């Protein structure tokens, strides 16, 4: 079996929002050493999912099965308190202990009774983690003397010193600037690979999701919409909600009628989805598409085209010289058209 | 209140504060001085407040003597009562702050049906005047055989102070985000360990403030001490009252000396805790 199998997790909201559960019947698996990204908008239930995994919140129904190893039967850990689960979590706001230095923060998980480590071992492991994350010179600082990126690294360090079986990451990069975020994504990927542990990484950022994930789990309003490798989800989204979540500029979703008007091949399904990069754009003074907006993004150009009242987002190689008001002809490979029910 | 340097109101404030300090400290200073006086000087008019070797008629000078303090300090009974006061106050403070912290944490983190009512009930134990319950309690203590014991007083003061240590600690712990203890639990620590190693260290200023109030209330308690003790467990407030005696001439010198000695420990404790008291509730918030 996979390292973890989650079955039918249901969590009710407390109080006024009780009409809709925070999670309803969520099921998925995490393989050993797999990096699973949970992608969802604010309020989709992704943080709740992580808290239930960690044991910080109780599920009304469902099981969390952990592989017992070897021939042992899988064990339902959903009733274990957080400290009895072999998991570490990096919180969105870091939650470093303000009354402790960086060194003490890193050593804190190792001081847990269950670890049974000697002072010397603790020191070695803390030094190792600090080395990996380039924190050695910040050892005696307190969290309020660190920058956002440093806080982030300490938080990750604190999670990894214990070498847990599963990492839980709750939008750990959300509060960092774009440049740092890009670097940390690579760093997290590298760390996770080298540790060979499983990871559930929660984010609302599709770029982060695509670049990190072995598999993506798309969550919306407490339900799993789709799960699979990033490429599969991108190419074969189950519906327009999933399709819209991945890719920037976003996918063009046309109704049956609009697609017909543009002369695209149709199917019996209600919606037609075409990714911006699927269009082949050719300059043509008599073409039906008029450029409304032209953006030069460097590696590519993003155009907003108007085709008889239908607004399309299209990307094109930068060799195409275009300015607003230019006319174009559009083509698309039928194999790249997505037909969606809803 | 902070005096802002450079602002126009600063001198006015300084004068106001100095005047206020003098008004409030004057009786205390006069009490301490009276502790160094001979009986003839204590009730003299005009008041004598300058210590000297001789005391001329109609002057502000009094004859300085250490006799009162020597008498008090040489009196084994008074010293034992002073020790009783220290022992009972410290033990009951430690206990009531410890239990109050646990209770406050529980009320803060585990809201339950009727929790607010329970909290109010806890407070209501403080609404009765002590003397109204002193007699029944003394009967109970008598049956339990803990009348006139330090243990009995510690138990009573702990319970009595528990109401407001619970309330204060709840308020302080409410200010500490749950994120820290959640992190600690995911770092492999049980909830109790998380409380002891992460939550309470952050509540240190709150604990200090709570301890000061608890200590002062136990230190100054008179009604219960009077009814529940007779010889062994008598505390200083009762002793000081006994010094006044029932004859018409109040022995001002010994009385002031005893009161001054009684004042010292609590003043030192207050000074030691001052830093925390001023820091108050400005705990580190979760950054993010």
Residue B288 has pLDDT above 60, yes or no: no
* For residues B4-18, average pLDDT: 80
Residues A33 and A97 in one domain: yes
Residue A114 has pLDDT above 60, yes or no: yes
Residues A174 and A152 in one domain: yes
Residues A121 and A171 in one domain: yes
Q: Is A53 on the interface with B (CB under 8 A)?
A: no
Residues A124 and A154 in one domain: yes
CB contact under 8 A, B187 and A54: no
Across the interface, which of B179, B186, B201 has its CB nearest the CB of A54? B186
Choose between A142 and A178: higher pLDDT.
A142
The pLDDT confidence band at residue B270, using thresholds 50, 70 and 90, is confident
* B276 contacts in chain A (CB < 8 Å): none
> What's the total number of domains in chain A?
2
Buried b (16+ CB within 10 A) or exposed e, B102-119: ebbbbbbbeeeeeeeeeb
CB contact under 8 A, A98 and B202: yes
Residues A49 and A162 in one domain: yes
Residues A91 and A222 in one domain: yes
* A113 contacts in chain B (CB < 8 Å): 193
Residue with tokens 């209770």: B103
Residues A78 and A201 in one domain: yes
CB contact under 8 A, A81 and B193: no
CATH class of the region B77-281: mainly alpha
Residue B216 has pLDDT above 70, yes or no: yes
Across the interface, which of A82, A92, A96 has its CB nearest the CB of B186? A82
CB contact under 8 A, B183 and A91: yes
B97-110 per-position pLDDT tens digit: 999 999 999 999 99
Question: How far is it, in rounded angstroms, from Cα A108 to Cα A91?
Answer: 16
Answering whether pTM is above 0.90, one says no
pLDDT of residue B257: 94
Residues A299 and A233 in one domain: no
Q: Is A14 on the interface with B (CB under 8 A)?
A: no
Tell me, what CATH number does A306's domain have? Answer: 2.40.50.140
CB contact under 8 A, A97 and B180: yes
Task: Tell me the average pLDDT of chain B.
Answer: 89
Decide if A97 contacts A35 (C-beta within 8 A). Answer: no
Last residue of a domain, one of A245, A269, A302: A245
CB contact under 8 A, B288 and A175: yes
Across the interface, which of A93, A95, A109 has its CB nearest the CB of B188? A109
* B203 contacts in chain A (CB < 8 Å): none
* B182 contacts in chain A (CB < 8 Å): 54, 56, 82, 91, 95
Rounded to the nearest 10 degrees, the angle between the axes of helix B204-220 and helix B150-174 is 150
* A82 contacts in chain B (CB < 8 Å): 182, 185-186
Question: How far is it, in rounded angstroms, from Cα A158 to Cα A129?
Answer: 8
Residues A159 and A275 in one domain: no
Going by the DSSP 8-state scheme, the letter that residue A199 receives in this structure is E
Alpha-carbon distance A54 to nearest alpha carbon in chain B (angstroms)? 7
Tell me, what CATH number does A10's domain have? Answer: 3.40.50.300
Question: How far is it, in rounded angstroms, from Cα B253 to Cα B199?
Answer: 49
* For residues A190-219, average pLDDT: 92
Percent of chain A with pLDDT over 90: 58
Residues A221 and A258 in one domain: no
Choose between A227 and B2: higher pLDDT.
A227
The pLDDT confidence band at residue B279, using thresholds 50, 70 and 90, is low
Residue B5 has pLDDT above 80, yes or no: no
Question: How far is it, in rounded angstroms, from Cα A237 to Cα A221?
Answer: 17
Residues sharing a CB contact under 8 Å with residue B127, sequence separation 6 or more, in sequence order: none
A118-147 per-position pLDDT tens digit: 999 999 999 988 888 888 888 999 999 998
Residues A197 and A297 in one domain: no
Residues A222 and A329 in one domain: no
CB contact under 8 A, B180 and A115: no
Last residue of a domain, one of A245, A261, A284: A245
Residue of B nearest to A159 (CA): B187
Last residue of a domain, one of A193, A212, A245: A245
Residue-number span of the structural domain to which A316 is assigned: 253-340
């Amino acid at each position: 079996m996979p390292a973890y199998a989650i079955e039918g997790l249901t969590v009710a909201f407390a109080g006024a929002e009780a009409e809709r559960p925070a999670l309803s019947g969520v099921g998925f698996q995490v393989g050993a050493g797999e990096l699973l990204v949970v992608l969802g908008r604010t309020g989709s239930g992704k943080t709740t999912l992580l808290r239930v995994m960690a044991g910080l919140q109780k599920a009304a129904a469902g099981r969390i099965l952990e592989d017992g190893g070897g021939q042992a039967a899988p064990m339902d850990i959903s009733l274990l308190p957080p400290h009895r689960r072999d998991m570490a979590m990096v919180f969105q706001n870091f939650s470093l202990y303000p009354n402790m230095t960086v060194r003490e923060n890193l050593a804190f998980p190792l001081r847990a009774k269950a670890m049974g480590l000697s002072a010397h071992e603790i020191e070695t492991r803390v030094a190792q983690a600090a080395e990996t994350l380039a924190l050695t010179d910040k050892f005696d600082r307190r969290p309020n003397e660190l920058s956002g990126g440093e806080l982030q690294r300490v938080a990750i360090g604190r999670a990894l010193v214990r070498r847990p079986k599963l990492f839980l990451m709750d939008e750990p990069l959300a509060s960092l600037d774009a440049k740092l975020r890009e670097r940390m994504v690579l760093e997290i990927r590298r760390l996770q690979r080298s540790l060979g542990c499983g990871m559930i990484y929660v984010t609302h950022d599709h770029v982060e999701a695509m670049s990190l994930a072995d598999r993506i789990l798309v969550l919306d309003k407490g339900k799993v919409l789709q799960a699979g490798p990033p490429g599969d989800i991108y190419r074969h989204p189950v519906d327009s909600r999933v399709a819209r979540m991945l890719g920037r500029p976003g996918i063009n979703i046309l109704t049956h009628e609009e697609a017909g008007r543009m002369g695209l091949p149709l199917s019996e399904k209600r919606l037609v989805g075409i990714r911006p990069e699927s269009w082949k754009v050719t300059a043509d003074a008599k073409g039906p598409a008029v450029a409304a907006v032209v953006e030069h993004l460097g590696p590519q150009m993003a155009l907003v085209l108007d085709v008889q009242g239908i607004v399309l987002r299209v990307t094109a190689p930068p060799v195409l010289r275009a300015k607003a008001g230019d006319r174009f002809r559009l083509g698309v490979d039928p194999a790249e058209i997505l037909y969606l029910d809803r | 209140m902070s005096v802002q340097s450079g602002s126009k109101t600063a001198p006015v404030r300084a004068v106001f504060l100095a005047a206020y300090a003098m008004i409030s400290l004057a009786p205390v200073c006069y009490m301490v001085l009276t502790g160094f006086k001979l009986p003839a000087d204590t009730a003299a008019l005009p008041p004598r407040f300058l210590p000297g070797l001789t005391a001329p008629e109609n002057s502000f000078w009094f004859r300085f003597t250490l006799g009162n303090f020597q008498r008090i300090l040489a009196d084994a009974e008074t010293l034992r009562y002073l020790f009783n006061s220290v022992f009972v106050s410290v033990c009951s403070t430690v206990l009531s702050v410890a239990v109050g912290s646990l209770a406050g944490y529980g009320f803060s983190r585990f809201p339950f049906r009727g929790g607010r009512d329970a909290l109010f009930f806890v407070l209501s134990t403080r609404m009765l005047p002590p003397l109204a319950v002193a007699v029944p309690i003394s009967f109970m203590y008598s049956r339990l055989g803990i009348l006139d014991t330090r243990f009995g007083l510690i138990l009573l003061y702990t319970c009595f102070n528990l109401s407001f240590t619970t309330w204060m600690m709840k308020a302080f712990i409410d200010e500490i985000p749950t994120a820290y203890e959640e992190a600690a639990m995911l770092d492999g620590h049980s909830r109790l360990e998380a409380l002891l190693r992460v939550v309470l260290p952050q509540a240190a200023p709150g604990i200090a403030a709570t301890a000061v109030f608890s200590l002062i209330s136990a230190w100054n308690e008179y009604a219960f001490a009077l009814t529940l003790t007779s010889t062994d467990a008598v505390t200083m407030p009762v002793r000081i009252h006994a010094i006044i005696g029932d004859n018409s001439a109040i022995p001002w010198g010994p009385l002031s000396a005893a009161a001054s000695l009684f004042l010292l420990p609590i003043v030192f404790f207050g000074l030691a805790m001052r830093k925390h008291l001023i820091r108050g509730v400005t705990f580190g918030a979760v950054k993010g």
